[in-house]
Amino acid sequence: MKKLQLILLLSLMLLLYSTTIVGQCNDLSIDNISNPGPYNVETITEINGIRNGPFYFGATIYYPTNKTELLASIAIVPGFTALPSSVESWGPFYASHGIVCIIIGTNSIYDFPETRAIALLDALETIKQENSRASSPLKNLLDLNKLAVSGWSMGGGGAQRAAVIDNTIAAVVALCPYLNDPQLNHSSPVLIFSGENDAIAPPEQQANIHYNRTPSTTNKVLFEIKNGNHYVANSPNGGDGAVGRLALSWIKLYLEGNNCYCSLLKDHISSNPIATSVIKQNFECESLAVNNEELAIKVYPNPVKNFINVQIYKNVHYKVFSTLGQRLSEGYLSGDTKQIDLSQFSKGLYYLNIEGHIIKLIKNN
């Protein structure tokens, strides 16, 4: 009888927790994404000591100053003959929503997409070095497993090619991309924006082909802005703000690993907002249910008395919740020995959240 009561109690607790997580997701809305977002933004440049990358010319890093979690990053490069100022509004936008953004120039304004791809990868190297540079305000604050690329026009083609060259890139946002005869065999989730009236990179000659040439096994979306020209995605304000809202949601989903944004994206895209003339999509939402297998997570001992060991191949952020959804602890697991101290917790049931995957923990005294 007592065993049955325990099973019923655990089931009820899991239901309460699941309801809390769903409630947290329900608090999110793509339509409520603002510009700017909730975080304060600062910038650093080479004058402040950031690396001078050999494959690009000049860089500005925009970063949030009041976010407590480890930071994901995105690198952005402009298009043919264009300067960084042509896409600079993306920097404060992403940073104000908690994403570090480096915007670079090119060694030649006439660089073609393949050269811009190398420039983006070089920019990501600069980001990586900021995590260890002694005087950097970003020292030890970056999650180097969460890196994305973006670009406009030939820079967008370069972003796609960067994902082909480096398969660790977590996400791509291609802004009216230009790349003739694209070879795009990569697995990085890609969001492609285009303008219906783009005379420089006509969608049927560029963006549509980019979408079709990206493998069907890759998560991808093509979002064509109604009446938009080649400059419609230079700013997050394009398409009456739809460009920024969708780009941020894509980055939140695939770069930060926030699964709540997946169903929001699905609903927003399927509703065919007024700003859109063509939508193509091929991506699926993962369940928010308990799932340890996808990331090959092992935790032991469980039940636990003091320290729980987490076995996972990569460095990750974790959170521990009560059965009522209260966040009790959080931190970053890195290195070969990954442990969480639960010694101060009282006896009972808790939930460990690692990148959206929920694991039940039983604490014994």
Annotated catalytic residues are 153, 198, 230
What is the rounded distance in angstroms from the CA atom of residue 193 to the CA atom of residue 280? Answer: 11
Tokens of 74: 């995105």
| Cβ-based neighbour number of residue 11 at 10 Å | 10
Beta bridge partner(s), residue 282: 220
| Element at 211 (helix H, strand E) | helix 207-213
What CA–CA distance (Å, rounded) separates 48 from 67? 21
Rounded distance between C-alpha atoms, residue 225 and residue 275, angstroms:
6
Look at residues 142, 176, 135 and name the one whose alpha carbon lies nearest to residue 159. 176
State residue 203 phi and psi, 5-degree precision: -55, -40
Structure tokens given for 257: 């690993």
Q: Name the phi and psi angles at 208, rounded to 5.
A: -65, -40
Q: Measured between alpha carbons, how far is 188 from 240 in angstroms, rounded to an integer?
A: 27
Q: What is the DSSP letter of 306?
A: S
Q: 91, exposed or middle or buried, with CB in 10 Å at 0-12, 13-18, 19+?
A: buried
| Three-state SS at 13 | helix
Tally Cβ neighbours within 10 Å of residue 99. Answer: 27
The first and second tokens of residue 220, run together, are 């991808």
The residues that bridge with 224 in the sheet, in sequence order, are: 194, 278
Contact call for residues 153 and 201 (beta carbons, < 8 A)? yes
Using the Cα atoms of residue 309, residue 312, residue 314 and residue 320 in order, give the sign of their dihedral: negative
> Which of 112, 130, 154 minimizes the C-alpha distance to 59?
130
DSSP state of 304: B
